């Protein structure tokens, strides 16, 4: 028997630890080989719907020509290519891609938060909520649209808007902001239980559907559904033409409000989707798509300002797929590119003007649907370097779940002074040569 009973007891406990802790899936290579993990307290996940490399670099070139700067999202130090195919299709839809990013598993096109057999999947937002964090979902389209729904809903049909709305309420997430809830009072739905807004109020949500209501929501409210429209938020290309006092609420506004509502000592997880970008690309409307990216990038700027004061923050930016088959060059213009000409378009509504202007700008489109192009994933902040391993969209959720779940919360180092938290990100090239699409 050991001469030191305390040492013997400690050694026995260490040997038993692997059997006492819940099993975890293997970490991607970067996480498995990196040494001591400092997990983020605050996590932002930004998803540009329909945003791949062409969309990013169209906006990048436009800003360089018009403002002598680039996109914030393209300046992030960690960058990698991420594949997007679904379980049953080389070309994904938003439901399957959203589920992969949110839950870490492939599913069929049209499926939300369930696997191809209909089995319920757990999203990173649900993991964050269980770990004691506050959770927010923000989008420029309707709150029960495919991408935001992937973080809280579980349904084999993305079209079941009313049922997905019921899941929204049952999620208990702390904040929803952006567009309205589609089919909120669909009394023909099989599971109809009443108007979703009224049901949300019964569950303790403050429900705001006006700018006046938006302004009076104050930090400390327990649960909030804050909307700027009955449907999607208006296109930014249309709103920017108006006097500021007459403009509708924007993605930027809801991102700020989400932060003010959710900031707390246990941290938060916020997903922000630029959803209208996808619709503009489906319409092959380059100028409208451009302005949606600029608005999306400004929302990321809100998170970056928050990160300046809260270094224990992680910001991840990705797309769910590419839409439209956008090309940065066309047959008519050959080697000539004049993307700054898109500034001439002042409205989202003139399809003929949009097509003609895109050709003059040196842009092209190959489809009105999605493509299988990989997307660019970028990251900055605490633990950002792990996302160099996000080679597939499922890797994003796998990484996030381990960083912000219960185990991640135990590993997080909480310093006496926020400024003492190191944000160390290895240098990477914009598109790593080792990355295989």
User: How many C-beta atoms surround the C-beta of residue 368 within 10 A?
Assistant: 12
Cα angle vertex 117, ends 111, 121, to 5°? 65
Q: Are 58 and 363 in contact (CB under 8 A)?
A: yes
Which residues are paired to 83 by β-bridges?
392
pLDDT in tens, 181-192: 999 999 999 999
Query: Residue 4: its pLDDT value, please?
Result: 54
Any idea what DSSP says for residue 348? S
Average pLDDT, the chain: 88
Instruction: With residue 381 as reference, give the H or E element that holds it.
Output: strand 375-381
Q: Is the pLDDT of residue 423 over 70?
A: no
User: How many C-beta atoms surround the C-beta of residue 38 within 10 A?
Assistant: 17
Decide the pairing of beta strands 42-48 and 313-319: parallel
User: How many C-beta atoms surround the C-beta of residue 350 within 10 A?
Assistant: 14
- At residue 281, φ and ψ (nearest 5 deg) are -70, -35
CA distance 275 to 412: 32
Q: Three-state DSSP class for 81?
A: strand
Query: 114-133 b/e with 16+ CB inside 10 Å = b?
Result: bbeeeeebbbbbbbbbebeb
Which residues are paired to 314 by β-bridges?
43, 381
Q: Is the pLDDT of residue 25 over 80?
A: no
Any idea what DSSP says for residue 189? S
pLDDT in tens, 71-117: 999 999 999 999 999 999 999 999 999 999 999 999 999 999 999 99
Of residues 219 and 35, the one with the higher pLDDT is: 219
Nearest Cα residue to 276 out of 184, 178, 202: 178
Q: Is the pLDDT of residue 425 over 60?
A: no
Contacts of 354 (CB under 8 A, 6+ apart): 283, 284, 285, 286, 287, 288, 345
CA distance 34 to 421: 17
Query: Residue 407: its pLDDT value, please?
Result: 61
Q: Are 341 and 287 in contact (CB under 8 A)?
A: no
**Percent of the chain whose pLDDT exceeds 90:** 81
Mean pLDDT of 217-235: 93
CA distance 255 to 263: 12
135-139, 217-221, 226-230 — which is least confidently predicted? 217-221
Query: Residue 221: its pLDDT value, please?
Result: 73
pLDDT in tens, 141-162: 999 999 999 999 999 999 999 9
pTM of the model as a whole: 0.87
Q: Is the pLDDT of residue 417 over 80?
A: no
CA distance 35 to 225: 40
Q: Is the pLDDT of residue 18 over 80?
A: no
Query: Residue 220: its pLDDT value, please?
Result: 76
- All domains of the chain, ordered by start, with CATH? 38-142+240-420 (3.40.720.10)
Query: Residue 392: its pLDDT value, please?
Result: 98
Query: Residue 216: its pLDDT value, please?
Result: 93
Any idea what DSSP says for residue 174? S
CA distance 31 to 399: 8
- Alpha carbon separation from 143 to 22, 88, 116, 290 (Å, rounded): 33, 26, 24, 22
Query: Residue 49: its pLDDT value, please?
Result: 98
Any idea what DSSP says for residue 377? E
Q: Is the pLDDT of residue 430 over 60?
A: no
pLDDT in tens, 273-329: 999 999 999 999 999 999 999 999 999 999 999 999 999 999 999 999 999 999 999
Mean pLDDT of 364-379: 98
Instruction: With residue 322 as reference, give the H or E element that holds it.
Output: strand 322-323
Mean pLDDT of 191-206: 98
Mean pLDDT of 249-262: 98
Tokens of 354: 């949009």
Give residue 210's pLDDT band: very low, low, confident or very high (50, 70, 90): very high
The secondary structure of 129-167 as a DSSP string is: HHTT-EEEEEESS-TTSHHHHTTT--BS-TT-HHHHHHH
């Amino acid at each position: 028997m050991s001469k030191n009973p305390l040492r013997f007891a400690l050694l026995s406990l260490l040997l038993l630890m692997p059997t006492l802790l819940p099993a975890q899936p293997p970490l991607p290579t970067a996480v498995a080989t990196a040494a001591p993990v400092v997990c983020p307290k605050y996590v932002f996940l930004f998803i540009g719907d329909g945003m791949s490399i062409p969309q990013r670099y169209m906006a990048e070139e436009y800003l360089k020509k018009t403002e002598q700067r680039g996109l914030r999202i393209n300046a992030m130090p960690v960058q990698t290519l991420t594949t997007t195919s679904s379980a049953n299709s080389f070309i994904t839809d938003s439901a399957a891609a959203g589920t992969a990013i949110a839950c870490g598993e492939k599913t069929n096109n049209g499926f939300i938060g369930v696997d191809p057999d209909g089995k319920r999947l757990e999203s990173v937002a649900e993991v964050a909520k269980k770990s004691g964090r506050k959770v927010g979902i923000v989008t420029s389209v309707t709150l029960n649209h495919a991408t935001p729904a992937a973080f809280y809903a579980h349904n084999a049909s993305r079209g079941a808007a009313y049922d997905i709305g019921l899941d929204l309420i049952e999620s208990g997430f702390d904040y929803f902001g952006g567009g309205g809830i589609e089919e909120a009072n669909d009394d023909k739905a099989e599971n109809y239980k009443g108007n979703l807004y009224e049901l949300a109020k019964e569950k303790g949500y403050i429900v705001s559907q006006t700018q006046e209501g938006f302004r009076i929501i104050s930090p400390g409210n327990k649960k909030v559904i804050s909307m700027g429209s009955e449907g999607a938020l208006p296109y930014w290309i249309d709103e920017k033409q108006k006097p500021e006092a007459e403009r509708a609420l924007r993605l930027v506004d809801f991102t700020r409000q989400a932060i003010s509502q959710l900031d707390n000592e246990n941290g938060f997880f916020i997903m922000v989707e630029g959803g209208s970008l996808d619709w503009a690309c489906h319409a092959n409307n380059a100028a409208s798509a451009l302005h949606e990216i600029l608005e999306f990038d400004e929302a990321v700027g809100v998170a970056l300002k928050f990160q300046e004061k809260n270094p224990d923050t992680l910001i991840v930016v990705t797309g769910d797929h590419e839409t439209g088959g956008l090309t940065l060059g066309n047959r008519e213009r050959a080697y000539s590119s004049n993307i700054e000409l898109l500034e001439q378009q002042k409205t989202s509504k003139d399809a003929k003007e949009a097509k003609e202007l895109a050709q003059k700008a040196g842009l092209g489109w190959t489809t009105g649907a999605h493509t299988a192009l990989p997307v660019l994933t970028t990251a900055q902040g605490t633990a950002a370097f792990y996302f160099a391993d996000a080679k597939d969209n499922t890797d994003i959720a796998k990484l996030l779940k381990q960083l912000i779940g219960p185990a991640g919360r135990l590993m997080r180092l909480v310093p006496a002074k926020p400024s003492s938290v190191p944000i160390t990100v290895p240098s990477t090239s914009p598109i790593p040569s080792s990355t295989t699409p």
